[in-house]
Amino acid sequence: MSETLTPKTADQVLEALKWASSEEKSLNVQGHGSKSSLGRVEPCDHTLDLSALNSILDYSPSELVLTAEAATPLVDIERALDEKGQELSFEPPDFGPLLGRAPNEGTVGGAIACNLAGSRRIKAGSARDHFLGFHAVSGRCEEFKSGGKVVKNVTGFDLSKLMAGSYGTLAVMTDVTLKVLPKPEKIRTVLVRWSTDGIYDHGGVRSMVDALGTSHEVSGAAFIPAKVTEFSNVDYVKAAGGSISAIRVEGPGPSVMHRADELKKQLGIYGAVEELHTANSVTFWKEVRDVSFLSVNQHRAIWRLSVPPANGSRVALSILEGHPGEVIYDWSGGLVWLALEDKDNASEAKVRAAVNEVGGHATLFRAPDQLRREMPVFHPQTQGLSDISRRIKEGFDPGGILNPGRMYEGI
């Protein structure tokens, strides 16, 4: 009979893993469960609920460093940082509503374990680039740590990079240390309105690529098709009457205003331009970050594609031809979100073929359990990469007790 283990300290996490290892029982590792439907479906014997490990342990605003237990809610961390005018600059998204759950359930450990980042990734990098260190317990039932509470730390092998994106399959992190940065003084978003409803318009991606090619330090570049702009809570976007390209600049007030003005001049060749100020910009980029435009229809499968930015619209068009769906571009076209009907395995063959052609990756981000059980969720690995993944898993968790099969079958 399945039961839930609820450790309240790092020592109790170690004891729980020792018990599971001795009994040869697998564990579904989770914080608040907000990402429980990400990855493959592989039944576990028991659940390891880390929700009691939910405190900020140390925060040094002057040192730009924060340490928190793994299940600390992101909203608590963001609130503490906001009081000091700081933020997590990789913009960890809240995918709860997209995955059919309530908002604000995400934890800092979950964001790191899944290596999630928002639109600023094109400038600030991913979650792993802000991950300084951690304490954890491996599947071998050994406590270990990596990194430290300084931004520059080159001691030993950087295990933080390995843990970020491992989906809890290698070890159970009990606390994490992150780099934080000051919030920007001003934010401006330049909107380019497209006169047609060409929702896969290559021009939309071209305008973003052009903006990133300037010296204006763009921190966000997204394209929202006409069919989904109506779901925005920003009036300028909702009433756009067509597709929009959105370009964000941030920083000191005078610099931001100058760069926004220059971008409006340069992007005016594509169509009418508008400008969102700080409050509306914050709302809009949160919608892009959380992909909330696609949360309305929960009956479609969601694909997350990582491709070369210049190929984003072409990849989407080749997949959507003859297959109704919706698309959103972020990261200047390098991140493509596709909402498709889940028939024919959510068009897996077509998606994989289109992505393989440009050397990208495709993840089945949201789909019914049966679909995630029967087909690969993450992009299939080459034999060489698969062998490496297996050796890493065996090195950290030889008994396969931690989230077995969550990423790849048999690993």
* CATH number for the domain that contains residue 134: 3.30.465.10
Same domain, 203 and 152: no
Same domain, 216 and 76: no
Which stretches in the chain have pLDDT values below 50? Answer: 153-154, 198-200
Same domain, 116 and 193: no
Same domain, 139 and 227: no
162, 183, 204: which is the final residue of a domain?
183
Q: Domain range for residue 20? A: 1-183
The continuous run of DSSP H or E covering 243 comes out as none
Residue 385 included in any domain: no
Residue 150 included in any domain: yes
Q: Do the Cβ atoms of 392 and 18 come closer than 8 Å? A: no
- Whether this prediction's pTM lies above 0.75 is answered by yes
Same domain, 76 and 225: no
Residue 354 included in any domain: no
Predicted confidence at residue 341, as pLDDT, reads: 86
The conformation of residue 379, written as its DSSP 8-state character, comes to P
Residue 252 included in any domain: yes
Same domain, 209 and 268: yes
Residue 82 included in any domain: yes
- Residue 143's φ and ψ, nearest 5 degrees, are -80, 140
183, 199, 219: which is the final residue of a domain?
183
265, 290, 315: which is the final residue of a domain?
290
Same domain, 177 and 227: no
Count of positions (residues) in the chain: 411
> Cα angle at 229 between 246 and 318, to 5 degrees?
80
Same domain, 280 and 144: no
Looking up residue 265, the CATH number of its domain turns out to be: 3.30.70.2190
Predicted confidence at residue 199, as pLDDT, reads: 46
The conformation of residue 380, written as its DSSP 8-state character, comes to P
Same domain, 30 and 51: yes
Q: Do the Cβ atoms of 254 and 185 come closer than 8 Å? A: no
Same domain, 224 and 195: yes
Residue 398 included in any domain: no
Predicted confidence at residue 344, as pLDDT, reads: 85
Q: Do the Cβ atoms of 70 and 50 come closer than 8 Å? A: yes
Same domain, 178 and 191: no
Residue 397 included in any domain: no
Residue 192 included in any domain: yes
What total number of domains does the chain contain? 2
Same domain, 18 and 167: yes
